[in-house]
A and B are shown apart, each in its own frame.
Chain A
Amino acid sequence: AQTVTQSQPEMSVQEAETVTLSCTYDTSENNYYLFWYKQPPSRQMILVIRQEAYKQQNATENRFSVNFQKAAKSFSLKISDSQLGDTAMYFCASVNQAGTALIFGKGTTLSVSS
C-alpha cells in the first residue's frame, strides 16, 4: 500500500528561527503531486504548498519552501522566520496509486514560542 511517512511527531522552534519538517513517500508513478497542509488549533485544513514531481524547481510560497528529492522520495518543508501563527499540525500528502485521492502522513505538531 502507498505510504507517506512523517518521522517527527512533534517539533518546537523559537520565533524568527527556521525549522524543517521531514516527509518521505512511496510511489511507483513518475508524474505525481505532493502537498503540505497545515491544521491550526481551529482544525481547519489549509493548503501550504504544492509540488509537481515533473518540475525540477522546488516550490516556494513566501516563508514556506520545499526540498524535493525525487530519487530519494523525500519532500521536506522549510519554514523560515517562524511566527507564532505557524503553530499547527502539518501534514504531508501525496496522490494515491489510482490517482483519485490524497494519502496523508500522520502529521507533525509544530509549536512556535516567543
Chain B
Amino acid sequence: SQTIHQWPATLVQPVGSPLSLECTVEGTSNPNLYWYRQAAGRGLQLLFYSVGIGQISSEVPQNLSASRPQDRQFILSSKKLLLSDSGFYLCAWVPGQGAFTLHFGNGTRLTVT
C-alpha cells in the first residue's frame, strides 16, 4: 500500500535561518507531488507541485523553493526564513496524470521566531 512520510512534525527556527522539509512517498512510482501551506485563517495555499524528477512549478512567488531529487522525494527549502513563513506545511501526492484525489502527509508545524 502507498504511504507518505513527512518530517519533521514540528520545527522552531529563528528568522534568517535555513529550512529543509522533506517528504517521501512509498508504494507508488511517478506520483505528482505537492507542497501546501496553511496559515492561520487562510486555508490551504498551493506552493509548489511536481509532475516528475526535476520538474517544479511554483504557484506563489515567495521566500521558498522546492526540489525533487528522486521520483518519490520532495523537499521544501528556504535559505533565510522570514516571520511570515510560519505555518503548517502539508505535503501531498496523487498517483499521476488525471488523478486528483490528494493524499496528505501529517504536516509540519513551522514557527519562525
Which residues on A are within 8 Å of B, measured CB to CB? 6, 9, 33, 35, 37, 43-45, 47, 50, 91, 93, 95-96, 99-107
> What is the total number of residues of chain B having a CB less than 8 Å from a CB of chain A?
23
Name the distance in Å between A9's Cβ and chain B's nearest Cβ: 8
Closest to A50 in B: B101
Query: Are the C-beta atoms of B101 and A43 separated by less than 8 Å?
Result: no
Q: A101 contacts B41, CB within 8 Å?
A: no
Contact A101 B49 (CB under 8 A): yes
Shortest Cβ distance from residue B95 to the other chain A in the assembled complex, whole angstroms: 14
Q: B31 contacts the other chain (Cβ, under 8 Å)?
A: no
Min CB gap B33→A, angstroms: 10
Interface residues of B in 12-59 (CB under 8 A from A): 32, 34, 36, 41-46, 49, 51, 57, 59
Whether A91 lies near B57 (C-beta < 8 A) is no
